[in-house]
Structure 1
């Protein structure tokens, strides 16, 4: 069984460290780690350390750093521009895409999005997406946590591919670019034809996944799986 990962803003410089705060509370009070058990500390930016618990206190652990690692950032990066879903489908999409390896998620206010982010709701929704991504990255033991960018409109997006049910080319066969890949996933109402044309004018290629129409909360996950296999990540 893989070791549990706990997030810290910065890895300890020395060989001793106190894991406290929310992460320490989760490790000590929820997972109930004990002296002699091992865990991972990670900064979400490639650096991790394998540690052993040497002391247990209320809502905190004292650990000794045994070994340090650094994982290079994935290249090319996989970016998903996610049309705002309604309800809890947004959290499902962010969680699952993080688990399968997305490098950046861009919330997109599409013309057919039922959900709209404005004012205080926008700030709360963005923070929720970031929190879900962070927790999913920890659960899946990722060395690099994905970026969740600020909300964008259509004009602020320059994609490589656009998932579209009427596309003639399959994502599994389309030639891939040498650099980063940015993929657009529409909301429940789909992508407006004017948006498709707008993206195409900027060089985007409409692609499909298969004969079935996937939900907005699962399409990004399926597309990332195809791309990860093609790029040799999996």
Structure 2
């Protein structure tokens, strides 16, 4: 049986004996039906991994004994901040999950002129909490030991105006540059992915005023979730740790 990887929201150390979080306990005890003596791997976002053994499983809690810890750095040398205009249905969840597997460090959900999702503040805050849980699950699956941040949703222009010394990129079907023509090396990138209907001309002009460079992925028009993952993969191949 593969040893499951479990995120723990508080700092860990040897030889702690701890109770897992409610979500983790439910997964370990009810879904996986693990028992005392079974092994788990824990991580707390500190870029370390902790070997542990289950000592108690009951209806109220699951407890584990931490036996060992070691640094396990799987982070890309490319610091990538994704600004993704919120997409409909499960597309946003899919984009968040897969972009984290590809090494994105920060994701900011954006609201633009043609954003097809209209939510009030309370529902949007609940969505962000749900997206953060998806980020954690993606890290558990892919082996990352630092949890990317899902920021609160903000308006597109507000995000574009934030101070950032890294390279700012905006996908545009009529751009003259591609990822392969960008000068190396680059360590920090702010990547903007627009909505399903694309950015308006006013928004494109606004990104230019804030120092964004238009780039082209290829001759075909990609859906927003396809564009995000294609761009991230291409940037990781050129400037990061995919190859």
- Normalized against structure 2, the TM-score is what? 0.85
3-state secondary structure, aligned to 1:196: helix
1:190 aligns to what? 198
3-state secondary structure, aligned to 2:101: helix
Q: Is 1:50 the equivalent of 2:51?
A: yes
After superposition, the C-alpha distances for 1:134-169 in whole angstroms (9 at most, x for unaligned) are 222222221111111121223222371001122122
Q: How does 1:79-228 map to 2 (within 5 A)?
A: 79-158=81-160, 160-176=168-184, 178-228=186-236
3-state secondary structure, aligned to 2:45: coil
Partner Cα separation in structure 1 for residue 123 and residue 36 of structure 2: 43
Unmatched runs of 5 consecutive residues or more in structure 1: none
Between 100-109 and 136-145, the greater mean CA deviation after superposition = 136-145
Q: Is 1:70 the equivalent of 2:71?
A: yes
Deviation at 1:217, TM superposition (A): 1.7
Partner Cα separation in structure 2 for residue 88 and residue 189 of structure 1: 17
Q: Is the CA contact 1:165–1:213 (under 8 Å) kept in the aligned structure 2? A: yes
- Normalized against structure 1, the TM-score is what? 0.88
What is the number of residues matched between the two proteins?
234
1:27 aligns to what? 28
After superposition, the C-alpha distances for 1:188-223 in whole angstroms (9 at most, x for unaligned) are 110112211211122211112122222112221111
Q: Is the CA contact 2:125–2:152 (under 8 Å) kept in the aligned structure 1? A: no
Q: Is the CA contact 2:193–2:227 (under 8 Å) kept in the aligned structure 1? A: yes
Deviation at 1:23, TM superposition (A): 0.6
Deviation at 1:101, TM superposition (A): 1.4
Partner Cα separation in structure 1 for residue 195 and residue 99 of structure 2: 15
Partner Cα separation in structure 2 for residue 176 and residue 39 of structure 1: 41
Deviation at 1:98, TM superposition (A): 1.5
3-state secondary structure, aligned to 2:219: coil
2:163 aligns to what? none
3-state secondary structure, aligned to 1:161: strand
Unmatched runs of 5 consecutive residues or more in structure 2: 161-166
Q: Indicate how the Cα distance of structure 1 residues 172 and 17 shifts in structure 2: closer, same or farther if over 3 A, else same.
A: farther
Q: Indicate how the Cα distance of structure 1 residues 101 and 232 shifts in structure 2: closer, same or farther if over 3 A, else same.
A: closer
Q: Is the CA contact 1:28–1:59 (under 8 Å) kept in the aligned structure 2? A: no
Partner Cα separation in structure 1 for residue 201 and residue 96 of structure 2: 25
3-state secondary structure, aligned to 2:6: strand
Partner Cα separation in structure 2 for residue 29 and residue 146 of structure 1: 27
Q: How does 1:9-28 map to 2 (within 5 A)?
A: 9-20=9-20, 21-28=22-29
3-state secondary structure, aligned to 2:70: strand
Partner Cα separation in structure 2 for residue 71 and residue 36 of structure 1: 24
